[in-house]
Amino acid sequence: NAGVMQNPRHLVRRRGQEARLRCSPMKGHSHVYWYRQLPEEGLKFMVYLQKENIIDESGMPKERFSAEFPKEGPSILRIQQVVRGDSAAYFCASSPAGRSYNEQFFGPGTRLTVL
Amino acid sequence: KNEVEQSPQNLTAQEGEFITINCSYSVGISALHWLQQHPGGGIVSLFMLSSGKKKHGRLIATINIQEKHSSLHITASHPRDSAVYICAVRKAGGGADGLTFGKGTHLIIQP
């Protein structure tokens, strides 16, 4: 049973370009969470999705960031017109159900560098 | 004030020592997680607790819901335990389902 997969593991973009980060949850998991870890800072929640639904996006920046989790395929975190401040490690986690006592399993992360 | 506070921020110890990392939180929770992150690496979930105590190998995690406090203990520490240990909580009730994290404890075990 493969773990949570993220790709790419490292992504370099120039200012103004778009970044697409992919997350494939563990088999049987239908809930995905995205977290961001800025340099020298702790992890912060960004968004929680179920298949075809955004459940909670209270941690997402208001502009340039979007997320989806289609019926088929991985969850995508999309950052438009990237700026240097977007450089960070982005982690996704998955769980079999989204409430209370369910453990989240983390992926290896995507390290985004904006030049 | 952060909702999840960890102490110490940094800890250096000798191989074989007993290690304790503390986590205090100020919100109602449904679960508390202990995570491990190696430099430049991914995040590994060590424990998820809602009450009592859990043990896995040389790692022990305890939680006191009334005092809003959890501890992570490492017995017979080894250099390979060197990592950042992160406490995270899932808030109780409706609303956000994402975790709220402490800033982490940087642990170095010297041979």
State the pLDDT confidence band at B94, using cuts at 50, 70 and 90.
Answer: low
Instruction: Name every residue whose Cβ is closer than 8 Å to that of residue A21 and which is 6 or more positions away in sequence.
Output: A6, A8, A11, A76, A77, A78, A79, A90, A92, A110, A112
Per the CB < 8 Å rule, is A56 touching B95?
yes
Q: What is the mean pLDDT of residues B2-21?
A: 96
The whole-number pLDDT of residue B101 equals 95
User: For residue B42, which phi and psi values (nearest 5 degrees)?
Assistant: -80, -175
Q: What is the mean pLDDT of residues A52-61?
A: 92
> pLDDT, tens digit, for every residue of A1-35?
579 999 999 999 999 999 999 999 998 888 999 99
Are B96 and A56 contacting, i.e. CB atoms less than 8 angstroms apart? yes
Per the CB < 8 Å rule, is A100 touching B90?
yes
Q: What is the mean pLDDT of residues B30-59?
A: 92
To the nearest whole angstrom, how far is the Cα of B28 from the nearest Cα of chain A?
12
The mean predicted confidence, pLDDT, of chain B is: 93
Per the CB < 8 Å rule, is B42 touching A98?
no
State the pLDDT confidence band at B48, using cuts at 50, 70 and 90.
Answer: very high
State the pLDDT confidence band at B21, using cuts at 50, 70 and 90.
Answer: very high
Confidence check: pLDDT of A79 > 60 = yes
